[in-house]
Every structure is written in C-alpha cells, then in structure tokens.
C-alpha cells in the first residue's frame, strides 16, 4: 500500500516538471517580446531595459524556468497579463465552481453507470442492447451539443432551471443545485455510458468465477451474490474507470462551463487562450496537473482499500 502511494508520488514529480516545462517552453515560443508588449509603444529604452531585467528575460531559458519553478513553489503563479490579477487568486476563486461541476458529474456517472451496468449484466439480452445503444449515443453526441439541447429544452422552453450562470453554495444552496443541474447532466452522460459498459463487462466476468458458484450453491440470495459479492469484485475495475472518467470530466468542464457560462477554470482558460494570457493558461495547466495527481492517488488508495490482498499485507 505504502509502496503504491510512494510510487505515485514519485511519478508526480516528473509530471509536474513536464506540464510546467511544456507550458514554459510554449510561452518562450510566443513570437514577440513580452517586455515590449507589456510596455506598449510609448516606453523609453530605459524602461524597456529595466523591465527586461525584472522579468529575467536576459538570462538563459533554463535559468528562467528555474526561477519560475521557484516562484511556483512559493505559491506565486505569476500575474495575468490582461487583468493584473495574481494567477493564484484567479485559480482560487474559480476552482470551487469547477470542482462542484466535476464532482457532481462524477457522482452521478458512478451511481447511474453502475446501476445500468449491473442491471444489464444480470437481466438478459434486451437490457444489454439498451445499454449498448445508450453508451453508443452517450459517446457519440458531442457534449457541447448535448449541453445546448438540454439547455434549450429544460431552461429555455420549460424554464425549470437557469439557462446560464452560477450561484455559489454560500449564497443559496438551492440556487446552487439548480444552477448546476443541467451542466452536471450534460457533463455526466458520456461517463455514464463508459462506466455502465465497464461495470457490465466486469460483472459478466466475475459472475463466472468459482466463488460465485460456491456462494450460490450455499443458498446465498441472488441479490447478495450480485450486490455484495460480484459487484465488490468488479469494483476494482470500476474505481479505475471512475478515476479516468473524473479526469476526462475536467477536460469536458472546459466546454460545459462555456455553454452554461459558469465562472470556473474551464471558462477562464478559454478566454485566456484567446487573449494569449499565457501566465493564466500556465497556472491552470499546473492546477489541472495537480488535480490529476490527486485523483490518481485517491484511486490507488481506494484500490488498496478494496483489495484485501494489498490491505492485509
């Protein structure tokens, strides 16, 4: 158990270096001179030289990267070129929105996907077909399209939910739920499909195992065989899939937040991309990398907890 966590943490070091390295190198490739574009056309040569000095632009690239890393470790992610806001502040203010969206979608996808998967593994052919079709559609319909369609039907036509915007949970828990309902639904559909399929396959394989036969032969009820014993074994595959789904939801959130105008990380990162606001893009990339590391770590821990062979060693 400890070994798994250590390995994962060790792997996270190169991961953070790679992500920050990529964004850093990309930044240095931007055509033009950051000092020049920051100062505008009316700056004096003295101002220009001074700014180049403060930004360490005269030093070699590797040294600049080193300085950048040092700042990152001190929690200084730089400053937005456009708003002059510290990037760490931008991230901190928008992270709760994205987390609400992604965690909500993950919970929904995990619960609904598992139920669908178990149902189709244990209830014969027709339900298997139904899950096949659902998962084909869930994978095929582009998430932004699903989001638009849901928004049109449930927000614009029926008026059940707000079409856009976000209310924080501290303002009004009810409005918070209502503002998240459609985004979560749109985001979770693809995950539901994937999780249902993985659950189904894992359940079908598990139900063939000897110990399932032993339990059935002992007169254990079908309900317990399926939910307590077979699902428990399938949960190992399931946990990995849920982790991957959650990671993919952070990518999906970039699109969903823009459809529903939620003020999250995905929303600002697109704006920043359009404005060439590299420090913001960089800071968010780093945030996402850390989130991925945390999710993978949680998956590893859950895996260990679910598997007595790892746990009792």
| 29-68 residues near another protein, rule: CB under 8 A | 29-30
Pair 230, 206: CB distance under 8 Å = yes
- Rule CB under 8 A: choose which of 38, 57, 111, 209 binds another protein: 209
Output the smallest distance, CB 195 to another protein, in A: 17
Q: How far is CA 103 from CA 85, 111, 182, 183, 209, in A?
A: 27, 12, 14, 12, 33
- Rule CB under 8 A: choose which of 247, 264, 299, 304 binds another protein: 247
224 binds another protein (CB under 8 A): yes
Nearest Cα to Cα of residue 286 among 27, 107, 84, 19: 19
Span from 19-27, 53-61, 63-71, 177-185 in contact with another protein (CB under 8 A): 19-27
Pair 251, 140: CB distance under 8 Å = no
Span from 26-34, 56-64, 87-95, 108-116 in contact with another protein (CB under 8 A): 26-34
Pair 100, 179: CB distance under 8 Å = no
For residues 164-193, which are near another protein according to CB under 8 A? none
5 binds another protein (CB under 8 A): no
145 binds another protein (CB under 8 A): yes
Residue with tokens 């990339």: 285
Pair 209, 233: CB distance under 8 Å = yes
Count of beta carbons in the 10 Å neighbourhood of residue 162: 18
Given the complex with another protein, which of 27 and 100 has the nearer CB atom? 27
- Chain-centroid distance of CA 53 in Å reads 38
Say which DSSP state 79 is in. B
105 binds another protein (CB under 8 A): no
Q: Phi and psi for 86 in degrees, rounded to 5?
A: -60, 140
Burial of 261 (0-12, 13-18, 19+ CB in 10 A): middle
Which tokens sit at 209?
Answer: 């195992």
159 binds another protein (CB under 8 A): no
Output the smallest distance, CB 102 to another protein, in A: 12
Output the smallest distance, CB 40 to another protein, in A: 21
216 binds another protein (CB under 8 A): yes
- Rule CB under 8 A: choose which of 9, 11, 38, 57 binds another protein: 11
229 binds another protein (CB under 8 A): yes
Given the complex with another protein, which of 78 and 175 has the nearer CB atom? 78
- Rule CB under 8 A: choose which of 104, 113, 117, 143 binds another protein: 143
- Rule CB under 8 A: choose which of 101, 182, 192, 215 binds another protein: 215
Pair 131, 116: CB distance under 8 Å = yes
Buried b (16+ CB within 10 A) or exposed e, 5-22: eeebeeebeebeeebbee
- Rule CB under 8 A: choose which of 3, 213, 227, 294 binds another protein: 213
277 binds another protein (CB under 8 A): yes
How does DSSP assign 111-172, residue by residue?
HHHHHHHHHHHHSHHHHHHHHHHHHHHHHHS-HHHHHHHHIIIIIIIS-SS-SS----TTT-
- Rule CB under 8 A: choose which of 72, 288, 303, 304 binds another protein: 288
Output the smallest distance, CB 71 to another protein, in A: 18
Given the complex with another protein, which of 27 and 179 has the nearer CB atom? 27
202 binds another protein (CB under 8 A): no
């Amino acid at each position: 158990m400890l070994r798994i966590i250590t390995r994962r943490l060790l792997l996270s070091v190169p991961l953070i270096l790679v992500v920050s390295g990529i964004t850093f190198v990309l930044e240095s490739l931007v055509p033009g001179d950051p000092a020049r574009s920051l100062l505008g056309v009316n700056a004096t040569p003295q101002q220009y030289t001074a700014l180049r000095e403060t930004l360490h632009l005269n030093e070699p690239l590797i040294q600049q990267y080193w300085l950048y890393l040092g700042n990152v470790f001190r929690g200084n992610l730089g400053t937005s070129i456009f708003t002059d806001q510290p990037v760490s502040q931008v991230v901190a203010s928008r992270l709760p929105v994205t987390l609400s969206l992604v965690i909500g979608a993950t919970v929904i996808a995990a619960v609904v996907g598992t139920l669908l998967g178990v149902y189709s593994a244990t209830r014969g052919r027709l339900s298997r077909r139904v899950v096949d079709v659902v998962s084909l559609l869930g994978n095929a319909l582009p998430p932004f399209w699903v989001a638009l369609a849901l928004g049109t039907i449930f927000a614009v036509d029926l008026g059940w939910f707000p079409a856009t915007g976000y209310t924080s949970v501290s303002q009004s828990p009810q409005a918070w739920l209502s503002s998240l309902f459609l985004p979560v639904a749109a985001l979770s559909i693809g995950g539901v499909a994937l999780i249902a399929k993985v659950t189904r396959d894992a359940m079908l394989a598990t139900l063939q195992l000897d110990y399932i036969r032993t339990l059935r032969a002992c007169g254990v009820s079908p309900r317990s065989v399926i939910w307590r014993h077979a699902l428990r074994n399938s949960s190992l595959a399931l946990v990995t899939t849920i982790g991957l789904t959650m990671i993919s939801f952070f990518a999906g959130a970039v699109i969903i937040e823009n459809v529903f105008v939620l003020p999250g990380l995905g929303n600002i990162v697109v704006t920043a991309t359009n404005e060439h606001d590299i420090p913001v893009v960089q800071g968010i990339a780093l945030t996402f990398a850390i989130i991925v590391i945390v999710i993978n770590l949680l998956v590893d821990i859950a895996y260990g907890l679910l598997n007595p062979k790892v746990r009792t060693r």
